[in-house]
Amino acid sequence: AQKVTQAQTEISVVEKEDVTLDCVYETRDTTYYLFWYKQPPSGELVFLIRRNSFDEQNEISGRYSWNFQKSTSSFNFTITASQVVDSAVYFCALRSRGSTLGRLYFGRGTQLTVWP
């Protein structure tokens, strides 16, 4: 079975603070992909990153960084020096090779609010 857990329902921070969004996943497959999507107030889901199960290197993109740890089945997302524009709902998702092509399993999302 595939499952994604985002335990943090809501997070509020003040601008310039760092914030980490947690994501824990479950799958029995050895080949899988992990994703993060951002849903700003406009509603669309915006792709942020994809990570495959064979690549545990952490990734940094500007103020965003991702920490993938297979040992703990986690794929956490950190925003450094948060800004008001980072306010959105963030979803972590999993797709495994054993599941139907393209079928993603999402977590419940974390609502991030960044106050000025």
Partner 1 sequence: EAGVTQFPSHSVIEKGQTVTLRCDPISGHDNLYWYRRVMGKEIKFLLHFVKESKQDESGMPNNRFLAERTGGTYSTLKVQPAELEDSGVYFCASSQVGQRGFSGANVLTFGAGSRLTVL
User: 48-107: which residues touch partner 1 (CB under 8 A)?
Assistant: 50, 52, 91, 93, 95-97, 100-107
DSSP for residue 22: -
Closest to partner 1 by CB, 63 vs 97, is: 97
Whether residue 112 contacts residue 59, with contact meaning beta carbons closer than 8 Å, is answered with no
- Residue 16's identity, in one-letter code, is K
116 binding partner 1? (CB under 8 A): no
In angstroms, give the least distance from the CB of 53 to partner 1: 10
C-alpha distance from residue 73 to each of 40, 54, 84, 116 (Å):
27, 13, 30, 34
Binding footprint of partner 1 on the chain (CB under 8 A):
4, 9, 31-33, 35, 37, 42-47, 50, 52, 91, 93, 95-97, 100-109
